[in-house]
Structure formats: C-alpha cells, structure tokens
Amino acid sequence: MNGIKLETSLRARSVLGYRRAIRTATPPILRKASSTTENASHVCDVCIVGGGIVGTALASALSTSSLKVALIEAGNLFQIPENNGNTYSNRVSSLTGSTIRFLKQIDAWNAIEANRSTPYRTMQVWDAIGKGKIQFNAPPGEEAIAHIVENNHLQAALVSTLTASQQTKIFNQSKVNSIVSGPLKHGGYGWPVVRLEDGRTIQSRLLSFAKVGADGANSRVRTFAEIDSNGWDYAQMGLVATLRLVPTDKGNDTAWQRFLPSGPIALLPLDNEHSSLVWSIPPKLAPLLRSLPEREFAEIVNVAFTGSWPDLQFLTSQIGDDGSASANFVEEARWSRKRAAIGEPKPPTIVGVQHKSRASFPLRLRNSESYAKSRVALIGDAAHSVHPLAGQGLNLGIADAESLAEVIKEGIEVGQDLGHIHLLENYTRARFTSNLAMMKSIDSIGKLFGTENGPVVTLRSFGLDVTNSMGPIKDRIMNFAGRSII
C-alpha cells in the first residue's frame, strides 16, 4: 500500500530480544511524581487527550487499576442522549463480537439500553454491475454478525462507568492549548505537560491521543508526538441519514450493502421501521443529496439499492444545483424500481428520512508510521482512519484501547515505567500490523468494486458467487472481520 509501512526497528526486533532489552535498558521508575511536577495543577499516570468513544473506553479499562487517569475532552461528555424510539442519531457503529466482549468486561455493555442496540444476523452484499452476490450469516458461536449502536448512546454508557471511579479525573469541555515536555530530571525523564485554555496543566507519565479534532489539536498532537502518518484522501464523501421504512412482519435484522461504481451504499437496521444509511458518493453530489426534498431523497436511495447504474446516473443528473428535483423525478425513480433485476437482493422499501439526519464527511485512509514514541501512544482516530465500507473503524479503535490498557497493566505488574518506549512498543507491535492488514483489505475491496472494467467485473462477480457457495470460506471471512484482528 502506498506509503504505509512497518518501521524497520519493529520488523527486525524479535520478541526475545525485545524482552531482553526491557530487562537491561529500562531506567529506574520515578517514585515521586512531585520531583518533576512542582508546577502542574494535576499529576497523573496516564493522560488521555480526546474523550470520544475510544478515549473513554481506554479510561474505563484503566479505571479499575491503581493508576491515576486524566481524560480531556473539548465537548460535553455528560450530555444525555435521547431515548425516543422514533428518533435515532445519524452516527452509528457496527460492533463486532470481540468489541462487545470487551465492553462487557468494562461494564459498559449493560449500560446501553436494550432498545438502542440492534443485532443483525444476516448480511447481503452484491455488485450493481456484475450481479454477483454473497450472503453472510453470524459466525459459529456468535448470536449475531454484529450489533448496531448509536455512537452517542455508546459514549454515554462508557462515561457512566467512569462516574464512580475515584482514580479518573475528567476535564470536561476543556480545550488543549499546548503540549510540552516537562523538566528533564532523573536521567532525562521529561513527563509531558498538557496546558488547557483555562490555564490548568496536567502532567503524566504517559500521554495517549485518542482523537484529533478540528480545533487545531491535530497540529499540536503531531508536533509533540513527532509521528507522521501516511495515506490518502478518497474522492468520496460519506453520506449518513436515518431512514424510515415500510415495516414488514419479517422484522429488520439484515444489513444490506450494494457496491456501486461510485462507492458502496449500506443499510443498517435500527428497528422494524428505521435503518441507518451510509453511502459513499462523489463530493460534488453530497450537498445536492443533503438538500434534496424528503420524498425525492427516499426514492433515489431506493434506486441506489435496486435500480440499474445508468438509471441512478440519470436521476442524479436531474438534481439542480440548489438540491431541487425535476418535475418527473419520483415517477422516473419508481419506474426504475419496477425494472429491477429479478433475483437481486431486495432491501426494505424506504419511505422517508428523519428530519435533519442527513450529514456528510470526507473519507480518507491514514495510518501513523508508529503508534508510540517515548511517553506518547496513539489510539483510534489519532492513529489511523479507514473507509467505512466494512464498518471496522470503531472496532479497530476499541481494539487499540483494549491492547494499550493490557500493555499498561502488564507494565505495572513488572514495575515498568509506563511511558518508556520499550514498554509502549509492545502496543505498537500488537496493533500496527493487524490494523494494517484490515486497512489493506478494505482499501483493496473498495478499488476492486470501484471499476467498470469488463473483465474485472466478470471476475469479481464470479468470485462473489463462488465464495457464496463455500460455507467454510465465508465463516473464515466473518471470523476475520469479527475479531477486528486483535
């Protein structure tokens, strides 16, 4: 993959040599934090910058240890999400079995209301051009392929696990002003110091960045960590929305994904009458679809799932620059649906869109050259970003949090300095290659289905159909995705 690489030092170092390096090269632990933190407002073992889902998950995983943890979030972590069965957030995640097991371990899963978690047991995937298709079922030993959960409800559940913790200090609605290294003492032990905009300072043995925001923190994080990232922007936007469906007596426990030449479109179940849309589209189309009237928007989404590619292209050409639709737009869309190919999957019919639920965001692939340096660890969005076509972004981030928490706890057990690079490279080694494997797979799938080249279309459709007939191969694919390659 262009520019994305393993560090040579990580490839060359064996596990045995790594452990020997820890025993022989680790400096003594700083036993008195006050010796290097005279001017800090708050002193802790681990400071997490970014209180999104992944950062909060790391804080929750560490809350049962003896460590003092600080969690910094620019937004409001204590905002209570609505629990209205007829209204859903437009940002949802597909949580795999391994992610759910971790959430259960940290007592977050039970805090999610039962009506805000929807399992899907079947997934239909098909090609809009070549007509190949494949159906996935829950992997052996799992009750579902995954659960769809709104991000804000998952966030609230994670925060609830921290409120009773005496070891975790939450700096809510607090923006980072600067990040510097503290005084160099005890052989060069400079603990990172985070200064907030209100003047408070937090000094810690280990600084973990869980997300990088649009408030300027991105450059400060990269400057302090001195860790570059590689990757590229896709010429796509991700369009999300909450859709209303025609209810059926069969229920709504199937996820649907169709690969269009312009990008995949997916429908994820929320309840019997609602599903969440994730549609990868050209950037110029995003504002038009956001502005399209509700009825016309529902119809074009139906065509994107069931109509022909030329019909969908024609409909998009009938949208004005202001988001208005041509006079016969609905009639053309319904005519296209009647012509849908026999034998193709038939998702639920969409009849409307939840008010103000449409939004879009740029899609990109990024991977940091390393996930750790001395006193710094990157997790989640701060370390990597992937295309949403496989629904793995958050699962990878939570797996990062779980892995880093395990490394930190192991460091405590053997008396290690939590910020020493020898310890933190255990985390990089555990997550870098597995994340890279998933990222390569996702990027390759996107490129494979993004072409209309005749021979390629024929081969990929043949591959889908053959794989669909081979149960053991499908089980291996689901196990690969369901583990988030921990």
Q: Which CATH number fits domain 8-81+154-228+369-445: 3.50.50.60, 1.10.150.300, 3.40.50.300, 1.20.1300.10?
A: 3.50.50.60
The model's confidence at residue 22, banded by pLDDT at 50, 70 and 90, is very low
- Indicate the helix (H) or strand (E) that contains 339: none
* Alpha-carbon separation of residue 444 from 108, 313, 437 (angstroms): 34, 24, 11
Alpha carbon distance 439, 25 (integer Å): 34
CA distance linking residue 157 with residue 110, whole number of Å: 8
d(CA 437, CA 443): 10
- Position 441 pLDDT exceeds 70: yes
Max mean pLDDT among 132-146, 222-236, 351-365, 472-486 falls in 351-365
Cα–Cα dist 465/459, whole Å: 10
Q: Which of 308-312, 365-369, 405-409, 469-473 has the lowest mean pLDDT?
A: 469-473
Report the distance separating Cα 40 and Cα 43, nearest Å. 6
pLDDT level of residue 344 (50, 70, 90 thresholds)? confident
Supply the mean pLDDT for the chain. 86
Q: Identify the CA nearest to 279 among candidates 241, 333, 325.
A: 241
Q: In what order do the strands lie in the sheet with 92-95?
A: 92-95, 146-150, 117-120
Residues 54 and 400 sit within 8 Å (Cβ to Cβ): yes
- CA dihedral for 170, 175, 177, 180, sign (positive or negative): positive
Mean pLDDT across 34-45: 67
Helix ranges (H only) for 202-308 are 217-225, 286-291, 294-306
pLDDT of residue 131: 83
User: What pLDDT, in 10s, does the model give residues 118-177?
Assistant: 999 999 999 999 889 999 988 777 789 999 999 999 999 999 999 878 889 999 999 999
In the block, residue with structure tokens 């802790």: 44
Residue 380 DSSP code: G
Tokens, residue 371: 């996930």
Give the separation between CA 142 and CA 121, rounded to whole angstroms. Answer: 9
Contact 333, 315 (CB under 8 A): yes
291-307 pLDDT tens trace:
999 999 999 999 999 99
Q: Which residue has the higher pLDDT, 172 or 21?
A: 172
Question: Pairing state of beta strands 176-181 and 359-368?
Answer: unpaired
* Section 408-417 average pLDDT: 93
Burial 281-298 (b: 16+ CB within 10 A, else e): beeebbebbebbeeebbb
- pLDDT at position 435: 94
Name the one residue in this structure whose structure tokens are 């193709």: 344
**Distance, CA of 186 to CA of 28 (rounded, Å):** 9
From the candidate CATH numbers 3.30.470.20, 3.30.9.10, 3.40.630.30, 1.10.3720.10, the one assigned to the domain spanning 235-363: 3.30.9.10
| pLDDT for res 33 | 36
Phi first, then psi: give them for residue 211, nearest 5 degrees: -155, 155
For residue 463, the SS3 value is helix
For 161-217, the pLDDT digits (tens) are 998 788 899 999 999 999 998 876 544 457 999 999 999 999 999 999 997 654 445
Instruction: Please tell me the predicted confidence (pLDDT) of residue 166.
Output: 83
pLDDT at 36 over 70: no
Those residues with Cβ within 8 angstroms of residue 419's Cβ, 6 or more apart along the chain or in another chain: 191, 204, 205, 206, 207, 374, 375, 376
Domain residue ranges of the chain, discontinuous segments joined by +? 8-81+154-228+369-445, 235-363
Chain centre to alpha carbon of residue 482: 14
Burial string for 174-198 (b: 16+ CB within 10 Å, else e) reads: bbbbebebbeeeeeebbbbbbbbee
90-104, 214-228, 382-396, 465-479: which range is least confident on average? 214-228
pLDDT of residue 122: 94
Does residue 23 or residue 264 have the better pLDDT? 264
Question: What is the model's pLDDT at position 213?
Answer: 54
- pLDDT at 308 > cutoff 70: yes
| pLDDT tens readout for residues 279-288 | 999 999 999 9
Instruction: Identify any residues that bridge with 126 across adjacent strands, giving them in sequence order.
Output: 133, 258
